[in-house]
Structure 1
Amino acid sequence: MALWLYRLGRFSAHRAWLVISAWVLILGMVGGAAALFMGTMSNNFQIPGTETQQMADKLKADLPEASGGSGAVVFTTTNGQKFTPSQEKAVSAALQTVTTVPTVKGVIDPFTTAATLADAKAKLTDGSKQLSAGEAQLADGKKTLDATSAQLAGGQAKLDAGQAQLDAKKSQLAALPAGSPQAAAASAQLSAGQAQLDAQKAQLSAGQAQLAAGQANYEASVKELSAKKSELATGIRSADAAAGLKFVSDNGKAAIGQIQFTESMNGVTPANRQLVQDRLNTLDSSGITVSYSKEITEDVSALFGAAEAIGIAVAAAVLIIMLGTLIAAGLPLVMAIVGVAIGVGGTMALTGVIEMSSISPMLALMLGLAVGIDYSLFIVNRHRQQLFEGMAMRESIAKATGTSGNAVLFAGLTVVIALAALSVTGLPFLSVLGLAAAATVAVAVLIALTLTPAILSLMGRRVISKRSWAEHEKVRQAHDAAAASLSASETARHDDAANIRKSARGWGGLVTKHPVISLVTAVLALAVIAIPAAGLRLALPDGGSEPVDSSAYHAYTITGANFGEGMNGPIIVVGSLPAGLDQAQATALNLDVADQLRKVPNVKAAIPVSVSKNFQTAVYQVIPAEGPASASTVQVVHDLRAEGAAIKADHNVTIGLTGQTAANVDVSAKLGAALPPYLAIVVGLSLILLILVFRSILVPVLATAGFLLSLVAAFGGVVAVYQWGWLGGIFDVANPSAVLSFLPIILIGVLFGLAMDYQVFIASGMREAFVHGQDAKQAVRTGFQHAAPVVTAAAIIMTSVFSGFIFSHLTMVRPLGFALAFGVLIDAFVVRMTIIPAAMHLLGKSAWWIPKWLNKVLPDVDVEGAKLVALTDSAPSHGRHLEPAAEPENVPAG
């Protein structure tokens, strides 16, 4: 591999303009593709197959009007007083203008809604009074009907008695002689009595008919009153259920409006988000302050901000200090920018056909800048050293590419493996993120191996400042004067002794003089830093994680203070109702379900908000007690799902959860489950690669153990700052909460790759010295002495670039930038430059032990370029036909 890279470097140096033209053409093609095909990015972290995604799909099919995205708008008065009637009208008018913005489906006016709810409550109160009056009136009517019924029953008894008397007299009349005066008089008397009795019967029948009519009216009134009573009870239950959902605060100083969109928030363009804000910002003239939720203000179209530029400026300063000339310092920066332009440009070109989160190009940008600078720096630094030693220009470029470029290739390969392995997690957005970053790193490696040699050949000796040349010349002359009286072998021994004495000084010498103390102290220090990691809690960011001066943070805090933290993260519950229900039955059933949802601990309100036209799909809004990223809200999500079995048993309703809050919990759980297999894959593949590179068992194991220490220490720092709030004022963490849910898995992949970068550069120098005959313990010092300056500069550069993202305009990038910067700092200076040399010094020759059978099986990749060094040292600088030298004989085997 070293020989192949040597030839590649030599070709690039000899055909510089061809190589440069090829990269310019590639850059132009990628830029054109990005301009033509770039789509919108999103922060959609949904995972196919999860309950939240299934419920979202169900809503889209059954209740499309409830499936669009929404964002909150918080209104307050600038003087801190209650809203005046004119201000309320101004808010309503401004919200009405928002409905003309493309993709806006409608708005919820807080004051109109509050007035409607108050009017409904007043009607319920009035209805309750009317119902009581009607019940009293019916009771009086019932008494009257009962009295009339009793009176009619008494009249009927009297009539029956009178009829019986007349019938008895008729029997007596039959006994009298016919035609007698007594019979005629009795007959006339009986006829008069019967006529009077018949009249009374007719009067009684009329009274009975009137009573029957009254009874029928009474029963109809009872039925009507019962229906109104049931309707009133339903209204009261609905009002009670909605009592926990307020749009105007109790003190009248804050109000929440809602903007409803026709599509998901991920599909709302930055232009339309801004147009919504422009329409509402006119309220400033009315003495009203408008704050927008994170969903409305979030703009993921911009990748680069002022903070990132500061990080690059620091990196440039480090390069200038190290290389001593603006031209040399600018080369790694230009290489990194070209690599990022191609890598990120290609990523952006795919956003039109692939749904991509904003963090995907951001991570590619972050890594592309860091590794692009470092990889070119390694080659430039080796080239400069060789020029100082008197090597010919193009020969030096070729040899630097074959030696340091070899280490760059394998270091980059570990990063690519770690990032590409994100595809095996089964999380689509992580797969896209990992592949985008891996492709950018691969481009950085290719640029370092081809474009860097090409430009170095054009730069000539300007890669070294005149001052550095002069200082080197003085040192060389002093060395030549001292060696004038010595033979070549004596000079070599003298130089070796001087190098050995030099390697015993500095940090490397100190660590290897006291290896046990250095090792124990470093490990204990990292263990202490890692302690907070035991309390790591994962979630996706909410408005409380935004910068304190942002509109989203103001909206979040105002909402929490006036309406409760839970209003910032409502949970959407979707219910599947049994078939065959009418509207009244569906309403009653939904209220029953809401009552049961409200019994879940830490639920402040549960409101039925919508039902499908066929009354088979219902939507409930659940308001938790605390914010969306709090531990109690996470537990509420779990408890609601657990309550689903009881709701199914009691009401024959199947429920499922959706919405951002529930989705965040699902994403965090899925990511947590993906961590162990991902870590195993990354570590396993990289261990194989490192065994291949170093032909050793203990060095890869030691490297991996050191990475694990760096990882848990980085987690500890992230928890302390972003979850516990330590140093929150410095890092702009005003509202500490759970850590970004996909930070651990990204940190594992990226930090492992970068840690192995430094391991390759540190350990390859040690192996190179050992292969060339030095004692194993001395080889540790020699390798450290040669690699430490460039690794130190590379680590500072990488930390500077990552640190720029700690104050990024994209909030979710901030903890990731901190974790990477802190992790690189710890890994480079504590693990690679303290623990590794101390441990390898203690291990001595056994550090390079490998079983004989494995040594024979493994191909020789010669990462340190030993064959190339041996070959080119004995060949002319312009040699074209180079053959590999024999394998060094002092590499230990089992």
Structure 2
Amino acid sequence: MFRGIGRFSVNRPWLVIVLWLVATAALIALAPQLKPTNDQAEFLPSDYESVRAAQVQQDAFPQSRQPSAIGVFQRTDGGKLTEADKKEVGAIAAGLQDKKFEKITEVVADPSAVSPDGKISLVHVFASTKTAHDETLVESVKKLRTEAAELLPDSGLKLGFTGASATALDSLEASDSTDAMVMMATLVLIIVLLLIIFRSPVIALMPVLIIGVVFMVTMGVIATASDLAGLEAPASISAILIVVLFGVGTDYTLFLLFRYREHLREGQEPKEALANAAGRVGETIASAAGVVIAAFLSLLLSSMGMLSSMGMSLAIAVAVTLIAALTLVPAVFSLLGTKAFWPSKAWRKQPKPGVTERVGNFAARKPALIAAVSGGVLVVMALGVLGFKAEYDTESSLPSNLESVQAMEELQSGFSAGQSDPTSVFVKSTDGSPLDKGRLSAYTTELAAIEGVDKVSPPQVNPKGDVAQYSVVLDFRPAADEALDLVGGELRDTVHAKAPKGTEQYVGGSTAVLADVQTAVNRDYKLVFPVAAAAIMLILGLMLRSFIAPLYLMISVGLGFGGTLGATVWLFQDGTGGLLFMLPVIVYLFVVAIGTDYNILMVARLREEIQNGRRPQDAVRLAVVQSAPTISAAAIILAGTFGVLMLADNSMLKQMGFAVAFGILLSAFVMAILLVPAVTTLVGRAAWWPGNRNDAIAADAPRPADEKDGDPLVGARTP
């Protein structure tokens, strides 16, 4: 099948290219806009308590309001606010109120909202929508900031806006600048590395142009699929998609080009060489992409909409890249022919024996030593996983110089840490009868007695009298570990245990949402990891027609996963904070799935040489010599594209960039080039059990005359 696809693309290049250009234009014109979000609540299913609490609030208190943004006023000299300062705060708030920003209903200066030390005064911004990430509202907050800055001169005051909508604004702007930086750095990196590897400006530029087309198609397909499925995409998805598409797309292009060059060196005509290369590596690329797609699709089993959406988006990206690698890439290089390598002449001659041959000989001669040392190093690094601490506050990853981040720090320096975002407790009568006010007051005392609770507001009862709402201010930051443990543990337990009889109780608010996210993620890890592993094992088994080889391949990538996450813990995690809560699943999917590409490339070549009648040791030597340059080049480029994320200001993108880049390098240089060939040599022909029995017999047959006494690589070129 892959040979047929390759020949069609090579022999009808213009038809393939035109079809791709038409699809690109259609998707750009017709696809809806992809709308990412940072709101964690939008990613939880409806059966979680925090989501049900939000629904109770909507039904019982439709007019209740939480400020969408908070203005934090201070004196420029850091002193206490005077009465004149407080009047000035009120005047500025009134001036902003008169501006009439769209979807902003009130800008209120509350005289009582002054910190106990008298240094901070708050202004609350209320909106007509409860969706803090609403595009119009976020844009209005941006205009509000600009107008407020014009009212401040000569007042002796400084002002910063924080809160959900202000944070959403800063996050969006930071994401836009990050995407541009990641795109530019990725393009420069890929072009430079390809130029070094092939010494050809055509090959350096052409994959970038091809993947640019693939990127546009992918974004259109993802936007359409998200719109049809009703899924929201996480705000960081654009930056991740850039590195995935350019990294994986370049990898698959390199798989083809290296094999194409190999066939040209054997004397084949350009079109024949390209068609044979596409046929040979087509199965390898399809298997590699299938592993990645299956791993990403396993995220659809997640109860978290964020992970489900990310899994769907990344699976679509890799699927489109696979189709391009099998059709568009061969078509483009069919038109270019050997001019693609201009001005280099290296494609005409066989390379001299070098490092790869020495590595191949070493892997064949000392497999036990290599397996023991490389496996031991991975185990030692994996010990760092034991200290992993999850961080659920995604806003803490934002750059510290953003206005919303600085204003929140100033607010929390003057007020109780939980003042900016209280937790809500709802008590609802089960039969619709009015609640007993005396019992509600006693319930306030029960809640206030919980250790870690700063204060509890008197109950607010809805007009019907069957639902009461309490505002609970914690001693901790809303997203702090202590707050999550309290809300998800003792607070919820007390809310349910001490509530008046005949009522239902719900704990809501952002801290409750994060506590539910924590529960959902822990549940997802137990489900997604095994399912992804089983899917990868199945694909490897079908490709290799073997039961044994997939087992040790999965063990090796499992060690790679542990070593990668452990190294990231040691490098990034300190005593005050943890690592991105999604990091384990991201490392698992990217390192285990994408890193398996290199194992597949190596093992596919090993199987091919075994099928050609070579002994396991000789097959290992040749497979390493022929595959190591491809794997090395592809891994360096892919790791480099993910490493670009370390240039971002967002600390979680830095963690992700390092972890995936480091894991890919481990997968390539330790596992694919060293560990897997060494273990394959140790296992011998049993690696291919129960398939390839004829190949195993052939491998035990006498070697060709040219291999008995001389260099085992002589005459070993694949026809």
CA separation of 1:737 and 1:294: change in aligned 2, threshold 3 A: farther
Counterpart in the other structure of 2:310: 433
Is 2:635 the counterpart of 1:784? no
CA separation of 1:440 and 1:659: change in aligned 2, threshold 3 A: same
CA separation of 1:518 and 1:660: change in aligned 2, threshold 3 A: same
Residue 678 of structure 1 deviates from its aligned partner by: 1.7
Counterpart in the other structure of 1:702: 552
Counterpart in the other structure of 1:571: 423
> Is the 2:94–2:108 contact (alpha carbons within 8 Å) kept by the matching residues of 1?
no
Counterpart in the other structure of 2:45: 47
Superposition RMSD on alpha carbons, in Å? 2.9
> Is the 1:375–1:408 contact (alpha carbons within 8 Å) kept by the matching residues of 2?
yes
CA separation of 1:537 and 1:40: change in aligned 2, threshold 3 A: closer
Alignment identity in percent?
A: 24
Residue 24 of structure 1 deviates from its aligned partner by: 0.7
Counterpart in the other structure of 1:451: 328
Counterpart in the other structure of 1:356: 232
Out of 69, 72, 78, the position equivalent to 1:71 is 69
Aligned counterparts of 1:399 and 1:37: Cα–Cα separation in 2: 40
Aligned counterparts of 1:510 and 1:672: Cα–Cα separation in 2: 43
CA separation of 1:91 and 1:645: change in aligned 2, threshold 3 A: same
Counterpart in the other structure of 2:193: 318
Is 2:145 the counterpart of 1:277? yes
Q: Which moved more, 1:613-622 or 1:25-34?
A: 613-622
3-state SS in 2 of match to 1:565: coil
Is 2:8 the counterpart of 1:22? no
CA separation of 1:45 and 1:77: change in aligned 2, threshold 3 A: farther
Counterpart in the other structure of 2:9: 12
3-state SS in 2 of match to 1:48: coil
3-state SS in 1 of match to 2:186: helix
> Is the 1:503–1:782 contact (alpha carbons within 8 Å) kept by the matching residues of 2?
no
CA separation of 1:87 and 1:389: change in aligned 2, threshold 3 A: farther
3-state SS in 2 of match to 1:79: coil
Aligned counterparts of 1:515 and 1:529: Cα–Cα separation in 2: 21
Q: Deviations over 1:269-319 (max 9, x none)?
A: 442332232233335523414142464232447371314422332232211
The amino acid across from 1:258 in the alignment is H
CA separation of 1:312 and 1:399: change in aligned 2, threshold 3 A: same
Counterpart in the other structure of 2:397: 545
> Is the 1:533–1:712 contact (alpha carbons within 8 Å) kept by the matching residues of 2?
yes
Residue 666 of structure 1 deviates from its aligned partner by: 0.6
> Is the 2:643–2:657 contact (alpha carbons within 8 Å) kept by the matching residues of 1?
yes
3-state SS in 2 of match to 1:73: strand
> Is the 1:339–1:444 contact (alpha carbons within 8 Å) kept by the matching residues of 2?
yes
3-state SS in 1 of match to 2:418: helix
Counterpart in the other structure of 1:520: 372
> Is the 2:568–2:659 contact (alpha carbons within 8 Å) kept by the matching residues of 1?
yes
The amino acid across from 2:220 in the alignment is G
Which entry has the higher C-alpha Rg, 1 or 2?
Answer: 1
Q: Deviations over 1:13-34 (max 9, x none)?
A: 2222221111111111111123
Counterpart in the other structure of 2:410: 558
Counterpart in the other structure of 1:103: 103
Unmatched tracts of structure 2, length 5 or more:
696-719
3-state SS in 1 of match to 2:123: strand
Aligned counterparts of 2:152 and 2:20: Cα–Cα separation in 1: 51
Length-normalised TM-score, structure 2: 0.87
Q: Deviations over 1:689-746 (max 9, x none)?
A: 1111112222211111112112222322343344426xxxxxxxxxx52333333334
Counterpart in the other structure of 1:376: 253
- In terms of fraction of residues, the more helix-rich structure is 1
Aligned counterparts of 1:67 and 1:716: Cα–Cα separation in 2: 44
3-state SS in 2 of match to 1:253: coil
Aligned counterparts of 1:349 and 1:12: Cα–Cα separation in 2: 27
Aligned counterparts of 2:591 and 2:541: Cα–Cα separation in 1: 19
Q: Deviations over 1:537-582 (max 9, x none)?
A: 3343244332122223313322333224333553222222586659
Out of 147, 155, 158, the position equivalent to 1:288 is 158
Q: Deviations over 1:243-273 (max 9, x none)?
A: xxxx322333333333233221233444233
Out of 753, 768, 790, the position equivalent to 2:608 is 768
Residue 77 of structure 1 deviates from its aligned partner by: 3.0
Q: Deviations over 1:594-631 (max 9, x none)?
A: 22112222222222363312232222222222223333
Q: Deviations over 1:750-778 (max 9, x none)?
A: 33220221111111112222221222022
The amino acid across from 2:117 in the alignment is N
The amino acid across from 1:676 in the alignment is K
Is 2:706 the counterpart of 1:840? no
Residue 430 of structure 1 deviates from its aligned partner by: 2.5
Out of 392, 407, 415, the position equivalent to 2:269 is 392
CA separation of 1:624 and 1:751: change in aligned 2, threshold 3 A: same
Aligned counterparts of 1:609 and 1:6: Cα–Cα separation in 2: 72
The amino acid across from 1:348 in the alignment is A
Q: Deviations over 1:124-145 (max 9, x none)?
A: xxxxxxxxxxxxxxxxxxxxxx
Aligned counterparts of 2:305 and 2:483: Cα–Cα separation in 1: 26
Counterpart in the other structure of 2:714: none
Counterpart in the other structure of 2:119: 253
Is 2:220 the counterpart of 1:345? yes
CA separation of 1:803 and 1:472: change in aligned 2, threshold 3 A: closer
Residue 800 of structure 1 deviates from its aligned partner by: 1.4
CA separation of 1:502 and 1:659: change in aligned 2, threshold 3 A: closer
The amino acid across from 2:304 in the alignment is L
3-state SS in 2 of match to 1:28: helix
Aligned counterparts of 1:284 and 1:825: Cα–Cα separation in 2: 52
Aligned counterparts of 2:313 and 2:660: Cα–Cα separation in 1: 18
Residue 669 of structure 1 deviates from its aligned partner by: 0.9
Counterpart in the other structure of 2:492: 641
Length-normalised TM-score, structure 1: 0.71
> Is the 2:75–2:81 contact (alpha carbons within 8 Å) kept by the matching residues of 1?
yes
CA separation of 1:655 and 1:96: change in aligned 2, threshold 3 A: farther
3-state SS in 2 of match to 1:288: strand
Aligned counterparts of 1:829 and 1:60: Cα–Cα separation in 2: 55
> Is the 2:251–2:638 contact (alpha carbons within 8 Å) kept by the matching residues of 1?
yes
For 1:845-860, list aligned pairs within 5 A: 845-850=685-690
Counterpart in the other structure of 1:33: 30
Aligned counterparts of 2:70 and 2:384: Cα–Cα separation in 1: 35
Aligned counterparts of 1:581 and 1:706: Cα–Cα separation in 2: 63
Aligned counterparts of 2:571 and 2:339: Cα–Cα separation in 1: 44
The amino acid across from 2:491 in the alignment is L
> Is the 2:579–2:652 contact (alpha carbons within 8 Å) kept by the matching residues of 1?
no
Residue 57 of structure 1 deviates from its aligned partner by: 0.7
Unmatched tracts of structure 1, length 5 or more:
115-246, 480-497, 726-735, 861-894
Q: Deviations over 1:648-697 (max 9, x none)?
A: 25x76542111111111111211211222222221112212111111222
CA separation of 1:504 and 1:40: change in aligned 2, threshold 3 A: closer
> Is the 1:577–1:652 contact (alpha carbons within 8 Å) kept by the matching residues of 2?
yes
3-state SS in 1 of match to 2:401: coil
Counterpart in the other structure of 1:309: 184
3-state SS in 1 of match to 2:458: strand
Residue 104 of structure 1 deviates from its aligned partner by: 2.1
The amino acid across from 1:459 in the alignment is L
Aligned counterparts of 2:652 and 2:495: Cα–Cα separation in 1: 33
Q: Deviations over 1:410-444 (max 9, x none)?
A: 11111111111211234333322211211111000
The amino acid across from 1:12 in the alignment is S
Report the count of equivalent residues: 678
Is 2:479 the counterpart of 1:629? yes
